[in-house]
Amino acid sequence: MNSCYGLTGGIGSGKSTVAKLFEALGVRIVDTDDISHRLTAANGLAIPAIRQAFGDTCISADGALDRPQMRTLVFSDLEAKQRLQAILHPLILEQAKSDALSPTSAPYTLVVVPLLFESGRYRDWLRGVIVVDCPEARQISRTLHRGALDESTVRSIMAQQMDRTGRLRLADEIILNDSSLEHLQGQVSALHKRLSAS
């Protein structure tokens, strides 16, 4: 049977880097951010419902979701955020589950979900959850280094996520991403051996 594990962590914790390291070891990765982007691309499955709920103001000229426009809206309007989540989250879950539970020759599947604990929709069908952890100051500096968001936006996103203590309390496995890439690779490799054998 195909074993599925969750991979989560706060913004800037290094989930994508860790996922790539697992993928290089032959693990199948199902990334809910990738699924969300597909659903909201031009002609994506979520676009008709988004257009109906928000009108054309949040749809770009090519027919995809206008992400900067929508980000501005949902940060200032809780009801708008809830409406968007009500459209996207069931579609993302359905696709993630379908992808993750389909046959694979990989030793196991990692489902990358930024708000895994917050959503309450994944834990019951995953065998365990891996949390990528680092100090909050490092989360902020890493995210700012990417250049897409300013510090107040980063702090606002972090405030909406479960805090570090809560994530660590719920984790089945923890990967500490506060040092070198080599140190990170060592942790991933050791955990991969354990998960492959279980």
Secondary structure (DSSP) of 128-139: EEEEEE--HHHH
Same domain, 64 and 160: no
Same domain, 89 and 4: no
Same domain, 186 and 114: yes
Same domain, 94 and 156: no
- The predicted pLDDT at position 1 comes to 52
- The predicted pLDDT at position 182 comes to 96
Mean pLDDT along residues 9-18? 93
What pLDDT band is residue 30 in, cutting at 50, 70 and 90? very high
Same domain, 54 and 86: yes
Q: Write out the residue range of the structural domain in which residue 94 sits.
A: 34-105
Same domain, 23 and 65: no
Same domain, 112 and 196: yes
Residue 55 Rama label (left phi>0; alpha psi -120 to 50; beta): left
Instruction: Find how far residue 198's CA is from the centre of its chain.
Output: 25
To the nearest 10 degrees (0 to 180), the angle between helices 151-160 and 136-146 is 130
Digit-coded pLDDT (tens) for 64-123:
999 989 988 888 888 999 999 999 999 999 999 999 999 999 999 999 999 999 888 898
Closest residue by Cα to residue 10 from 184, 121, 166, 122 = 166
Digit-coded pLDDT (tens) for 137-188:
999 898 888 877 888 888 888 888 899 999 999 999 999 999 999 999 999 9
CA distance 18 to 58: 32
In what order do the strands lie in the sheet containing 4-8?
28-31, 109-112, 4-8, 128-133, 173-176
Digit-coded pLDDT (tens) for 107-142:
999 999 999 998 888 989 999 999 999 998 999 898
- The predicted pLDDT at position 110 comes to 98
Listed residues 105, 129, 145: the one ending a domain: 105
- The predicted pLDDT at position 192 comes to 97
- The predicted pLDDT at position 76 comes to 82
Same domain, 15 and 39: no
Same domain, 8 and 41: no
Q: What is the pTM of this model?
A: 0.90
Closest residue by Cα to residue 5 from 173, 185, 166, 134 = 173
Same domain, 150 and 172: yes
- The predicted pLDDT at position 147 comes to 76
Same domain, 113 and 157: yes
Same domain, 129 and 187: yes
CATH code of 180's domain? 3.40.50.300
Number of domains into which the chain is organized: 2
